[in-house]
């Protein structure tokens, strides 16, 4: 479970990027976070994988206060959370296969497991035939599918996706959402930010709406109201 208890975040001066946010995300949920640019969506996601810490309040991951984590705990946390971003963030000099294998090597996985699991996730994102391609040889949608494969290859408990379809055409967007659904069906918690009303409508799952750092709506049935 992820639990934000009265979380407020100030960057240097200015207004609160998050303002007294209290939310709970249960294991296996598929939660979308919507809101205008600057509403605090990315800040909220960054707190889940401890890229930012609260100014006030507490973020708990599996009942542990993330602010108390030492390096070892942070490494474990980041292994339990797969991340995907709007700009893909693939390694340009590595092939598709190598990009994913690298994430497993960094997590200290054994070579036999890497050889078994990389083809498996490539199949899941339907990119087996592109495994020897470099990122520059792929479409945006394909690159994002590689990024998703990389995010899940270490079998995280949670996938955090910050505007993963922000740069994609409607067909690629549909494919990414289908994969996120599949990942969720397999038991992984998915937390997504998006501006795409069509994506929210097609999911029909919980939607948290943010405005000026506050949660202004938390709708279990997937209403997108902005
Ligand atoms: P969203 O993802 O909804 O667009 P963000 O979480 O990125 O919103 O930003 C929320 C607020 O915090 C904005 O006012 C933004 O300018 C500010 N902000 C975000 N990151 C930083 C940062 N690293 N330093 C200073 N201000 C930031």
pLDDT digits (tens, 9 = 90+) for 140-153: 999 999 999 999 99
Give SS3 for 51: coil
**For the residues 176-198, what does the mean pLDDT come to?**
96
Mean residue pLDDT of the chain comes to 96
Atom 5 of ligand 1 has which residue's CA nearest to it? 40
The SS3 assignment for 56 reads strand
CA distance 21 to 70: 24
pLDDT of residue 129: 98
Residue 27's Cα: distance from chain center in Å?
A: 14
Contact by Cβ (8 Å): 225, 209:
yes
- Residue 40 CB–ligand 1 contact under 6 Å: yes
- Mean pLDDT of the region 124-133: 98
Nearest in space to 63 (alpha carbons), one of 3, 143, 132? 3
Q: How confident is the model over 213-224, as pLDDT tens digits?
A: 999 999 988 767
Which pLDDT score, from 0 to 100, does residue 178 have?
Answer: 97
R_g over Cα of the chain? 17
Between helices 140-152 and 111-124, what is the axis angle to 10°?
Answer: 140
Residue of 7, 12, 38, 193 best suited for mutating to test ligand 1, as the one with most atoms within 8 Å of CB: 38
Can you tell me the mean pLDDT for 62-88? 96
What is the greatest pairwise CA distance in the chain?
Answer: 51
> For residue range 2-47, what is the model confidence (pLDDT) as tens digits?
999 999 999 987 889 999 999 999 999 999 999 999 999 999 999 9
Residue nearest atom 27 of ligand 1, based on CA coordinates: 11
Look up the pTM and report it. Answer: 0.96
């Amino acid at each position: 479970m992820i639990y934000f208890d009265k979380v407020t975040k100030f960057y240097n001066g200015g207004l609160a990027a998050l303002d007294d946010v209290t939310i709970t995300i249960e294991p296996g949920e598929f939660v979308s976070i919507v809101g205008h640019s600057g509403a605090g969506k990315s800040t909220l996601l960054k707190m889940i994988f401890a890229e930012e810490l609260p100014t006030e309040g507490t973020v708990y991951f599996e009942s542990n206060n993330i602010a108390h984590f030492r390096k070892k705990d942070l490494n474990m946390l980041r292994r339990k959370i797969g991340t995907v971003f709007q700009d893909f963030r693939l390694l340009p000099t590595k092939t598709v296969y190598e990009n994913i294998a690298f994430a497993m090597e960094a997590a200290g996985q054994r070579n036999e497991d890497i050889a078994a699991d990389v083809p498996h996730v490539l199949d899941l994102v339907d990119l087996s035939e592109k495994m020897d391609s470099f990122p520059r040889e792929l479409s945006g949608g394909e690159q994002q599918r590689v990024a998703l494969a990389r995010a899940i290859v270490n079998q995280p408990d949670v996938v955090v996706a910050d505007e993963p379809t922000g740069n994609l055409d409607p067909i690629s967007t549909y494919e990414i959402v289908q994969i996120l659904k599949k990942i969720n069906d397999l038991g992984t918690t998915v937390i997504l930010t998006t501006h795409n009303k069509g994506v929210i409508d097609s999911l029909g799952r919980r939607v948290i709406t943010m405005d000026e750092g506050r949660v202004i709506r938390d709708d279990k049935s997937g209403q997108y109201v902005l």
